[in-house]
Amino acid sequence: MAAILFATTASAQRYVDSVQGEYDPTIYLISVQESGYPNDCCDKLQTMSQATQDYYDTHRAGFQQVDRPQFVFATKNNRFSLALGGSIVMRTSYDFDGISDSRDFIPYDIPLTETYNNRQQLLMDASTSRLFLKSIANTRTLGRVVIFADADFRGGSGRSYTPRLRSAYVSFLGFTLGRDVTTFCDLKAAPTTIDFQGPNAYNFNFATMIRYEFSFADDVLSAGVAAEMPHVSATYNYKFLEMRQRVPDIPVYLQVAWGPERRSHLRASAVFRNMYVRNDVVKENKSLFGWGTQLSGTVGVGPWFRIFMNGIYGQGITPYIQDLTGSGLDMLPDNGTGEEIKVQKMWGWQAAGQIGLSTRLFLSGGYSMVQVERENDFSFANEYHQGRYIFGNIFYSLTPRCRIGAEYLYGSRKNMDSVKNHANRVSLQLQYNF
């Protein structure tokens, strides 16, 4: 029998929070047959209210997270619902007095030798536009099951617009299985930036994982642990060769939250790594231990000011520091004979503040720094030593779904031999969520 679709633009209840304001999506009610859906208006309103509550409760806020969906399709009694959404993001940037050799502002990518071609550049980019799908099934055995997938258009080389999968996971009973932002990342500890990369000491990266999280004491305390697919970025030579990894990374965290809606929190995190490398001279495999610790969080100071911060220290943890991802600095051979290989020590921190001038207008600014420690016989002169990232921006919401912004960025890179350079960028952005 043909499916019948009942559509309504009025929900049974309005939901309001202090961060994103009113949430009142359009709910479409679906029945497989005309008589299969209750005719009673109260039953329909109850289903709509339950579907709205599902998407309100399961919304995840924080750095680069999607907005709540505005179109939801729900079946009889809200046993299953499906939402589609996304955003169009257009960013225009201009680099001057030095550039970051990337679409994003990455201090690691600042050229250290000035040429005719790296002092200025114009960038126009819409590749961070997003599409997402989210569905929720209310089951008897597993409770509320959430399925989520999203994509942007940064999958190709150069500046193409090839679609790229970001997240794809299913979660239930505290478990998350699939691809998601690493458990080591505190999503609410970073400020909003037009720059897609964000502060260079932050750690927003994706991993394929099995994760378990739980909260207790009325959501004051929460904790999580995961096994994540490892990604090792090392420098190899004639003796030491790359290997397929055998042991997952193990990130863990413990968080304490307080205040209205638990909007302030501090989180202590750690990650443990067992990284394999091949000694091709003696024909043996070798494992090196990497580890990292982090303190992160966000604190509301009154109704109009908020602080964001994270500090990280460890060795062999380049996937967990923005500026060092893919840098080859997890492990380095010695710079003499090349007979030994060692994990590298590294650390970083970022702090930012946000001032809400009104419900539509806010300002923010901050400072971030990353450093790789000098190691005797394991530091190369042209190797990255330190990167700095300073930003200031302003955002204004033209409508609840449309926001414009402007931003200034300053960054610098210094190598182990003290050779350094800097870059500047100004950016404008228009973002419309749908």
pLDDT of 338: 79
Instruction: Report whether pLDDT(4) > 60.
Output: no
Instruction: Report whether pLDDT(174) > 70.
Output: yes
What is the Rg, in whole angstroms, of the alpha carbon atoms belonging to the chain? Answer: 24
Instruction: Report whether pLDDT(16) > 70.
Output: no
pLDDT of 248: 98
The predicted model scores a pTM of 0.90
Instruction: Report whether pLDDT(335) > 90.
Output: no
pLDDT of 194: 98
Instruction: Report whether pLDDT(112) > 90.
Output: yes
> Which of 429, 380, 368, 85 is closest to 237 using CA atoms?
380
Mapping DSSP onto H, E and C, the string for 69-124 reads CCEEEECHHHCEEEEEEEEEEEEEEEEECCCCCCCCCCHHHCCCCCCCCCCCEEEE
pLDDT tens by residue, 21-74: 678 888 888 865 545 445 567 777 888 888 999 999 999 999 999 999 998 999
The two tokens of residue 172 are: 């239930």
d(CA 39, CA 263): 41
pLDDT tens by residue, 350-404: 999 999 999 999 999 999 999 999 987 788 889 999 999 999 999 999 999 999 9
Which percentage of the chain shows pLDDT scores above 70?
A: 93
- Count CB atoms within 10 A of the CB of residue 96: 12
CB 360 within 8 A of CB 351: no
pLDDT of 31: 66
